[in-house]
Amino acid sequence: MVDKETLVAWDKRYLWHPFTQMQDWLAEEPVIIERGDGCYLIDIAGNRYIDGVASMWTNVHGHNHPELNAALKTQIDKVAHTTLLGYSNIPAIELARKLVELTPVGLNKVFYSDNGSTAVEIALKMAYQYWQHRGEPQRKLFIHFDKAYHGDTIGAMSVGGIDSFHTTFDSLLFKGIRVSAPEPYRSNNPAVKVQWLKAVESKLSEYTGQVAGIILEPLIQGAGGMLISPQGFLKELAVLAKRSETLLIVDEVMTGMGRTGKMWACEHETVTPDLLCTAKGLAAGYLPLAATLTTDEVYNAFLGEYKDLKTFFHGHTFTGNPLACAVALENIAIFEREDLLSRLQPTIEHFRNRLQEFRKLPHVGDVRVCGLAAGVELMKNPDTNTPYPFEEKVGIRVCKEALTRGAILRPLVNTIVLMPPLQISISELDTLLDIVYKSIATGTE
């Protein structure tokens, strides 16, 4: 193996890291992970860290999981990749059936891709083309929300609402209907629900017959800062979508696969969307895999003679990759065998209760929890609602503190995100929360 110093040198010389100011990176010592062991990651120096953000919100059953590894090994001894363009493969078929069984009734067709952004692009393109086949080509616009995050590709950015990520690319983005957040935006406040819904209703009437779909992250806006939707918002939004006969697209890229305590966030409000996107946890955090599910209604609109060009002309090279699908099937099998969703409930309860203590810290503003995901918002002065200036990098500072105490985290600006693997034990969760508590206390001094 290449020695540690060489790896560090090569990293700095050859790599460009995502969402990273490389000038800062070059000035610091990188953590280079070599192995995983359950909820822990181990770096090349042998340090063990608890994975507090499930490796970018993806990991479900822990790292280096024997059964997931075995599923991959079994599949790789058969074939690693074959295309779904014009051909099929066994794991892709079996997983599609399983996903239809697992998602809300009515979602009957599965279209694969490789990541959350593409799952969203597909949902948008399907909705857009659907209306052309339905004879309503003027339905071209998507309603989307402030603080929303749907990915980094151009289409997904076009329906996003995080200015710091998106304004640079403004002139590249397609036009949509952005619903502004009520001011001040205290996310889980019932008054916010009324204001959001009123705003959507007014956009729907302003753009009657022009709305192709409404896209949102159900229950919680993730990358926007772990902002919890008011209870009932999704349900009432679904009613508005139905009433105006537009399509409802739920982006469950983060919330799907058990993160909120149910398999899908939309189950909490018994909503069946017209399109559902899933990615991050789909292949248990092992491989890039995504799926966009839709109804027979949408699917059937694309049927026709070859010459009619009603085909959905979209597909990625690695769509339906057999290795990724095989590991996703095992991922779901473990959920079922271990009754993980039931076992998760006391863990979530404990997580929620312990996080309440964090409010006692002098620089903690809001603490937001949804299932096994949380955001702890750091504030210069919570009493006067004064945020930390961006350039103080307080989120990064706290995460560095956590690293020295043995936890891997990644902030969203001034919000500390907690999103451990779903299989985390209560005692591991306590270890993580103790580290984060101390790191906030010292990192905000």
Distance CA 328, CA 316 (A): 18
Question: Would you say 253 or 429 has its CB closer to ligand PLP?
Answer: 253
Check binding of 253 to ligand PLP (CB under 6 A): yes
Pick the binder of ligand PLP from 36, 38, 62, 116 (CB under 6 A): 116
**Interacting stretch for ligand PLP, rule CB under 6 A, among 124-132, 146-154, 169-177, 375-383?**
146-154
Instruction: State in angstroms the smallest separation of the CB of 238 from ligand PLP.
Output: 18
Hey, what's the torsion of the CAs at 270, 274, 280, 284, to 10 degrees? Answer: 70
Check binding of 292 to ligand PLP (CB under 6 A): no
For residues 260 and 371, is the Cβ–Cβ distance under 8 A?
Answer: yes
Instruction: State in angstroms the smallest separation of the CB of 191 from ligand PLP.
Output: 25
For residues 45 and 53, is the Cβ–Cβ distance under 8 A?
Answer: no
Pick the binder of ligand PLP from 115, 187, 246, 414 (CB under 6 A): 115
Question: Would you say 60 or 254 has its CB closer to ligand PLP?
Answer: 254
Instruction: State in angstroms the smallest separation of the CB of 254 from ligand PLP.
Output: 3
**Interacting stretch for ligand PLP, rule CB under 6 A, among 39-47, 102-110, 217-225, 355-363?**
217-225
Would you tell me how many other CB atoms lie within 10 Å of the CB of residue 83? 14
Pick the binder of ligand PLP from 71, 95, 204, 223 (CB under 6 A): 223
Distance CA 327, CA 304 (A): 34
For residues 363 and 382, is the Cβ–Cβ distance under 8 A?
Answer: yes
Check binding of 222 to ligand PLP (CB under 6 A): yes
Distance CA 42, CA 51 (A): 10
Check binding of 151 to ligand PLP (CB under 6 A): yes
Pick the binder of ligand PLP from 51, 236, 251, 274 (CB under 6 A): 251
Tell whether the torsion through CA atoms of 158, 162, 163 and 166 is positive or negative.
negative
Check binding of 279 to ligand PLP (CB under 6 A): yes
Instruction: Please identify which residue in the block is written with the tokens 């907690």.
Output: 418
Pick the binder of ligand PLP from 128, 142, 145, 149 (CB under 6 A): 149
SS (H, E, C) 277-324: EECCCCCCCCCCCEEEEEEHHHHHCCCCCHHHCCCCCCCCCCCCCHHH
Instruction: State in angstroms the smallest separation of the CB of 121 from ligand PLP.
Output: 9
Q: Residue with the closest Cβ to ligand PLP?
A: 116
Instruction: State in angstroms the smallest separation of the CB of 58 from ligand PLP.
Output: 8
For residues 95 and 329, is the Cβ–Cβ distance under 8 A?
Answer: yes
Report the DSSP beta bridge partners of residue 323.
none
Check binding of 217 to ligand PLP (CB under 6 A): yes
Q: Strand 33-37's sheet: what is its strand order?
A: 33-37, 40-43, 48-51, 407-408
Instruction: State in angstroms the smallest separation of the CB of 220 from ligand PLP.
Output: 9
Residues within the interface to ligand PLP (CB under 6 A): 115-117, 120, 149-151, 217, 222-223, 251, 253-254, 279-280
